Structure 1
Amino acid sequence: MDANQTTTLPPLYVFEGHRPVIHPNAWVAPTAAVIGQVTIGEGSNIWYHCVLRGDTNTITIGTGTNIQDGTIVHVNAGRQCTTIGNDVTVGHAAIIHACTLKDRAFVGMGATVLDDAVIEEGGVLAAGSVLPPGKVIKAMELWMGNPAKMVQVLTVERRAGFDRTAGHYVELSGRHRRSLAGA
């Protein structure tokens, strides 16, 4: 191991007896904070300076999902949990609050998804957009703006470009895990 490298454990915090559950093949960056009722599935990756705060409800993240740097994921006390499916991409500095992101949903950098909103399988919210409470992005729709509105239905070819991101981040998180461990 290089003298400048140290092995770091992910920052997991028990809150009122609830301990985060992280699959052994998931990766949580050492500067992220995962608090309370949070479950992270196989191959998912939580990047630097993210906060996942499951203090008053649950956060569930499926497999192969990436939550990129600086993102905040939270819940609504006693009313809405946050559910994030498989192979989801959440871009840098997004806010995900008490909502549902189904499999293969894509949330662009700096976007916000609010209470009771849903992004269905393959739906896309553009960077910097705000999805208001209760709104639903249907499968293969691209929404943008503040408040976000549907701007187009994606072709299979265009949607395929978004799908490459999740797999890339699974691979990249493995490289970060090995590098930080000094391997």
Structure 2
Amino acid sequence: MLRTALEKDTRVTPDLILPYDGVQPDFVSRPVWCGRGSTVIGAARIGAQAWIGDEAVIRADGQTVILGDRFWLGHRSTVHIATRTHGTRVGDRVTVGRNSVVHACTLGSDVVVEDDVVILDGAEVGDGAVIEAGSTVFPRATLPGGYAYAGSPARPSRAIGADEIAERAERLRERMGDGSALPPGEVSEVDDSVFVARNARLRGRVSLGAGASVLFCCDLNAEVGPIVVGADTNIQDNTVIRTRADGVVIGRDTTIAHNVRISDCRIGARSLIGIGATIASGTLIADDVMLAAGATTDSGQILEAGYLWGGRPARILGPLDAEKRAMMIRIVEGYCQHGREYRAAQEASE
């Protein structure tokens, strides 16, 4: 009954609702607002009075996402799970700003996550905490409530009270009214094995290899230089690739995670670019590289093969061992499967 009611009013319906493994999202009540390009998929339960911004993505494909009442998700932000290990659980009255990622973690109630934040797998954030703009919460970190946290990794900067938390949440919500999303662009002819989400935006000379996938609310702008994506490479939700000169080339069997920002560069085969990373123009990333979540590169930087890189700017953190290589292969295989499933679900919904 609720699903039928939602479909009657586009202002309170995500632009794209898809099942995963036969499970549809569950809305406790009508959202307050759903922006253009907003996407909700799979075993997600969204509490009362939700607000979902332009091109925001909630994706529960393999584990559950449970969001409490009065959840606000800013423009181009992403909520996701870790398929094999963690779901995502969020308390009541949580506000997430723009271009942030809440990934396979637990957030208490009355938490504020500001713009450009990444919260990673297994992290736990207590009630009444603020994660300040640009911060990264590392995997399995425990952040007690009552503090503001900043940095990468996020560390307590000072104690914070309920009044200031409420004020910062309100400021974020006020800015969310300034959405600037554009309608999806035309998608060129692609191989039958390729998945391009209906609300992804592809412009200019974009070439997608067999088995590649471009997920929800991605923006690939190749109106200046070309974008070439190798076979079986996945580009995940809310990633933005924009060419200004020479273009972008990404090798085969590579993962570009959620909310990555990429300018003119070369990224090799069998690599992984972590959540919320930024790749500067002129970067050369060799084959078999893992770049950690939230990392950045300098213009013209070269990332050598066979290493885990991280930091701002990126530096070598250690060798790419057998366990990490196996994990990277599993992600590629999993997203090839996701691509096939999403293509079928998207076609069935048209």
TM-score, scaled to structure 1: 0.86
Q: Is the CA contact (8 Å cut-off) linking 1:21 and 1:40 kept in structure 2?
A: no
- CA shift digits 1:29-87 (9 cap, x unpaired): 0110000111111100000010000011110001000000000011123xx21001101
Partner of 1:174: 340
Partner of 1:71: 239
CA distance in 1, matches of 2:288, 2:316: 14
How far the C-alpha of 1:24 sits from its partner, in A, is 2.7
- What amino acid maps onto 1:82 in structure 2? V
Partner of 1:54: 222
How far the C-alpha of 1:20 sits from its partner, in A, is 4.0
Q: Does 1:120 align with 2:286?
A: yes
How far the C-alpha of 1:21 sits from its partner, in A, is 5.2
- What amino acid maps onto 1:119 in structure 2? I
In structure 2, relative to structure 1, the CA distance for the partners of 1:69 and 1:20 (3 Å cut) is same
Q: Is the CA contact (8 Å cut-off) linking 1:36 and 1:53 kept in structure 2?
A: yes
Q: Is the CA contact (8 Å cut-off) linking 1:21 and 1:39 kept in structure 2?
A: no
**Which protein has greater RCO, CA pairs closer than 8 Å, 6+ apart?**
1
Secondary structure at 2:275 match in 1: coil
How far the C-alpha of 1:106 sits from its partner, in A, is 0.6
CA distance in 2, matches of 1:147, 1:110: 14
Aligned-residue sequence identity (percent) comes to: 29
- CA shift digits 1:97-118 (9 cap, x unpaired): 1011111111000001111112
Single out whichever of 117-126 and 149-158 deviates more from structure 2.
149-158
How far the C-alpha of 1:158 sits from its partner, in A, is 2.5
Query: Number of residue pairs matched?
Result: 170
Q: Is the CA contact (8 Å cut-off) linking 2:234 and 2:332 kept in structure 1?
A: yes
Partner of 2:302: 136
Could you list the runs of 5+ residues in structure 2 that have no partner in the other structure?
8-15, 18-183
CA distance in 2, matches of 1:105, 1:96: 14
Partner of 2:258: 92
Secondary structure at 1:52 match in 2: strand
Q: Is the CA contact (8 Å cut-off) linking 2:198 and 2:346 kept in structure 1?
A: no
Q: Does 1:145 align with 2:311?
A: yes
Q: Does 1:24 align with 2:192?
A: yes
- CA shift digits 1:99-156 (9 cap, x unpaired): 1111111100000111111211110110000011111111111111111111111112
Could you list the runs of 5+ residues in structure 1 that have no partner in the other structure?
14-18
Secondary structure at 1:160 match in 2: helix
RMSD: 2.0
Partner of 1:111: 277
CA distance in 1, matches of 2:189, 2:269: 20
Partner of 2:203: 35
Partner of 1:16: none
Q: Is the CA contact (8 Å cut-off) linking 1:20 and 1:36 kept in structure 2?
A: no
Please identify the structure whose Cα radius of gyration is greater. 2
In structure 2, relative to structure 1, the CA distance for the partners of 1:179 and 1:20 (3 Å cut) is closer
In structure 2, relative to structure 1, the CA distance for the partners of 1:21 and 1:180 (3 Å cut) is closer
